[in-house]
Structure formats: structure tokens, C-alpha cells
Structure 1
């Protein structure tokens, strides 16, 4: 399988750029103050000093500058008994959209799934994000409208975990 040379696995040196793009994503998603993570959080998650990484990242570069990210982790299907990839965030700077970088990032994750025998590549997208929805549908992705996302965080998570 061919791989776009502009896409590569992130390195620890990419952490500042990854965080910069996460902040840009938060602005795009109308949550500019929502990012709590710092560089140390990303270093520990992506490049831990002990044990395996819990999350992974691929970056897209143009002229040596990181302009896109795909942050992901392994999921698991009890129905297939195999792993998949959960794409937590895909983001390409607005001035680079339409250049093929978003597709190249997704293509690399799909290649990883095929190479490793993973059965799924999944993610979510905000309902109002029509450009992204159209992009994903053009790639053959299918919305899973029959599922409702639930989340426990903050006080509710603390109360249940107490």
C-alpha cells in the first residue's frame, strides 16, 4: 500500500504542534476554552516513559510544518473479537483543506487497520459540521445514527466512581 509522504507517525518533538492544532480544533468546534491538556499530558499519553502508549498520533506536514493531526486509540469490538481504531480528532488547518491531507491521514489509519487485521475505523462528528460530514460520506463512511452517545464527567463521574 502506498503512503502519502506528507503523513507520518508523530514524534515527541511534534507535541507543541499537536497541542497548537488541538487548540485550533477547539476554536473551530466553538469551544475555544475547552482544552485542559498541556504538552505534558500529550507527552505522557503518546510517548510514555513507562509502559505502552494509550493514544497515538499521525501528523501531516507541508514544508516541514505540522498542519494536520489524527489522534487515535485502539477500540475493541465484542462482536468481532478484534480491535479497531477510534479516531478521537482529525484536524487540518483551514488553509490546507482541499489539499488531500485529511484524506491521507484517514487513508493511513485505514491502512493500519488492514495491516493489523482491525475491523473498524470509527469516529464522531458534530451534527452541525456539514463540510466534514460531506467529506466523510464522499470517502464511503456511513453515519451510525441509531446510536446515542453518553458521557460521564465532572461531578457525575466522581459520584459514580466514589
Structure 2
């Protein structure tokens, strides 16, 4: 019999697991040293007084009553001025290698789409690395459109500090 997959919202008790997923994703994306997140930061920012993002976790349950965390999605809301409504932004989606091919990535995205509709979001967006051909094909197969005319801009580290102090 095929394993059962269930999607559950993360709780504060899952902070360590969420950090494991983040580190595994960074490894997959060929940048393991970029992770600065700690359990303390995740606890504060995901479950503290000001919650900046949410997480859902996919579990695979077998017939023997065992449950294994298989993947996660971390998301937050943005806002579209043109639509006048919030959007749902998927920051991270990751399924552990041994669980790929079971439809877990699709199930996580379906869950987020359900949340977006329930919360009256005008759209759902995410980015994908240009070298990640399997993910690109997966997303296109789900009906995603690539927004190639939009270029992501980022200010972080010293540049963020300089900008906060009035610019260069």
C-alpha cells in the first residue's frame, strides 16, 4: 500500500525540524554556508509576537503507524497594489530526496493554493533558480507562468546598513 501523506501547520515545537529543512534546502541549492537562521531566530520570527511567515510540513505515514517528516513550505503574505489584495509568497519549498516522486511537492503547493483562496489572495508567487530544470518543469506543469520581464533586486548586509543610514 502507498504511504499516506498529510500536511500540517508547523508549531513552535517544530522549530528544530524547520531549521533542518532549511539547511537541507541550502545544501540542495549549492549554498550550505549561506544559512544564518538559528532555532532562536525562527522561534521569534515564526511563532513570536510578530509572526513574519508560516510553515506547513508534509508527513509520510506508513501502515505501521510510523510518521516521517518529508518536506516543508514556508510562506508569507505580500500585497498587490494593482489587485488591491494580499498575495501569498512561497519562500521555500523542499521535499527530502527519499520522498520525491510521491506527489508531496504538488500536495504542498495545493495546500498553499487552498490557503491563498481561503484568505482571498489575488495571486501566489515564488522564484526558482535558473539551473533547477526539474523544478522549473514541475512548476510549469502546474500552470505557473514565468515572469521573465521582472528582475529581482536585493539589498542586504553592508548595503542594507548603508541604505538605512541614508544611502551611499
**Residues 21, 67 of structure 1: 8 Å contact kept:** no
Matches within 5 A, 1:101-116: 101-116=104-119
**Residues 5, 104 of structure 2: 8 Å contact kept:** no
Name the TM-score, length of structure 1 as normaliser.
Answer: 0.93
Deviation >3 Å, runs of 4+: none
The gaps in structure 2 that reach 5 residues or longer are 62-66
Structure 1 residue 83, shift from structure 2 partner: 0.3
Structure 1 residue 95, shift from structure 2 partner: 1.0
Question: How far, CA to CA, are the matches of 1:65 and 1:35 in structure 2?
Answer: 24
**Aligned residue in 2 for 1:95:** 98
Matches within 5 A, 1:26-65: 26-48=26-48, 50=49, 52-63=50-61, 64-65=67-68
1:113-146 residue CA offsets vs partner (Å, 9 max, x unmatched): 1112111110000000000000000100111000
Equivalenced residues, count? 157
- Aligned partner (choices 76, 79, 89) of residue 79 of structure 2: 76
Structure 1 residue 101, shift from structure 2 partner: 0.8
Structure 1 residue 15, shift from structure 2 partner: 1.1
Does 70-79 or 37-46 show the bigger shift? 37-46
Question: How far, CA to CA, are the matches of 2:131 and 2:88 in structure 1?
Answer: 24
Structure 1 residue 47, shift from structure 2 partner: 0.7
| Alignment partner of 1:146 is 2:149 | yes
Q: Secondary structure at the match of 2:35?
A: coil
The gaps in structure 1 that reach 5 residues or longer are none
Q: Secondary structure at the match of 2:34?
A: coil
**Residues 72, 94 of structure 2: 8 Å contact kept:** yes
Question: How far, CA to CA, are the matches of 1:116 and 1:85 in structure 2?
Answer: 9
